[in-house]
Structure 1
Amino acid sequence: MVAKSFRRLKRGIEYPNWDALLAILIDHAAEGAPVKDFAAIVDLLIGQYGIPGRLADQHERLRDRRELTGFHRDRNGMLVATLRLDPASEAVFTAAINALSAPITDEHGNLDPRSAGARRADALLDMVAAATEADRSVPGSGTKAKVVVTIPLETLMSGLEEAAADQGWATTGFSQALSPSEARILGCDAQIIPAVLGTKSELLDLGHAKRLITPAQRLALQQRDGRCTFPGCTIPPA
């Protein structure tokens, strides 16, 4: 996996110190990074050191291959489909699914008996039900998910009409790596909540969209902790 990732980097980066980038990949492997994380690691390196616009071009090619297959029945009688998405589309999808699939306790305090996969399936069905609701005047029906994107302000704002403006990267609350142009596209169709970062990525200021403090506090905690802080718990912040 390190060798495969390194070959992909060499196609997308003009960088004088290849040994340093190879060392980064080896370090991630030595620290136990799962195979699925290597694609995101490569995206981050291409965004940081790559040819301007290369990350956006690669993700655009992936977007052209997005697909949801028709359902087929497996040996157990379940209907199965395959969904393939580019990183930006998957960021929106994952944010919506995680927001709707949190475990639920009943009035007696009993834990949700559903598996994580079952909760995600139910969340998808809830989204479909909301999208097909005939009464579009119902408050909240068809509401778009909020995707929190962390990106340096100068990368988001500077030189929008120049190719060099697409050098760098943005990250979502679920650790997807996006190109600056993908972050701008999400920004055109979503509420922007700025997270101003210092040179050492410390959170200097977190804006808010409403007077009530709860949403801003929640976002600040997500930015600070990245997960549940109960001892021994690793559940994502959503």
Structure 2
Amino acid sequence: MDELLASLDALAAEDLAPLFGPALLERLRPLLVAQNRIAAEVARTVRECEVSGAAEHDGLKTMGSWLRGHGHLSDAQAARMVRAGRALAHLPGMAQAFAAGAVTGEQAAVLGRVAEPAALALAAEQGVDLAAVDAVLTEVASARPHADTARAVRHYLDRLDADGPEPDPTEGRRLAITRHADGSVTGRFDLDAVGGERLQTALEAVVQAGRCAGDERSRSQQQADALVQLCDTALAAGRLPVLRGHKPQVIVKIDAEDLFGPGTHPGAGEMGFGAAISAARARWLACDSQVTRIVMGPDGVPLDHGRSLRLVPPHLRRAAEVRDGGCVFSGCGAPTSWCDVHHLLEWVNGGPTSLANSALLCERHHTKVHHGFRVERQPDGRWRTWRPDGTEILTGPRLTGPPLTAAA
């Protein structure tokens, strides 16, 4: 182990800057093989730890919990590693390819589903030659992408239990959401094939409808924005289940001084689920929201609760939708249902809530405008957009050569 660590130290000390494409790729290939071989040794050790009950030494019951706590692995990673270790004894072909570095740890975990007790019992009942299955699946894993390995395993398991009861798709669905100290959220989910197809179809519809000129977002960013847009559309439609007598809505609590002041004031606003946001973001949210005045006493008890005021009344929104037809930011084609009504001169600075002072902007471009971009409606009804540096965002083809002239 000392020699292995010393070799890793030597690799880490190498300067990669002088290397170019082919040389870097040649360096990467054996590293991937080494990574797989180390993963195989980890899986083999995890299995022996499980058999011997080694986790009890640290006061834990399972190797999965040990890997999560001591190895800092996620639930899914720990489960995959345990499954891969258990499969080694039943799938010697896979174990050999894994040890040689031809199979990844993730592929080994997928192949491990073949060696789970229920699958082994069904295979024994039907007289399945597990050695032949091991050879075929290992060959697929060694030569094909990970998706093909998962597909081959799924095909085998489906045929193995072709007459079994159709599983309840809701049984395996999971969604875990983690909120971080800065209010941001991460999570992971597991969906059955039909549920996953529904989600992908809905997201893809929003992604394709929201593509605009000059969109430099990555695919993952587009899908994340689409997920937020789906939630925003559902909340705005007002058809979600009622919560404690009220329609679900995004709530922000902020002091009047912060809301009406000019500063950014990080952490000035508190949202319904506890996240803290800046006063600047609260002002952005308030552009097209209801505002309720609540007077608090010195002991924190509300003394007065004013009537909620809708900053943009329905008739004004309808007029803006008819006039603008969608997001007015240059190059954007987001429909009206995705848009907020933005005050060109912010209402906190005295801007009137009027059609002349309004512009439809989708969430993404509404944020841009509150961070330095500017939109302006021309006398002929066209909208123009400027970047924070004062340059205008133009769309359409650009003529770079001399203007064309007609021949005499």
Q: Does the alignment reach a TM-score above 0.5?
A: no
Structure scoring higher RCO (CA < 8 A, sep ≥ 6) equals 1
Q: Which has the larger radius of gyration?
A: 2
TM-score (norm 1): 0.31
TM-score (norm 2): 0.20
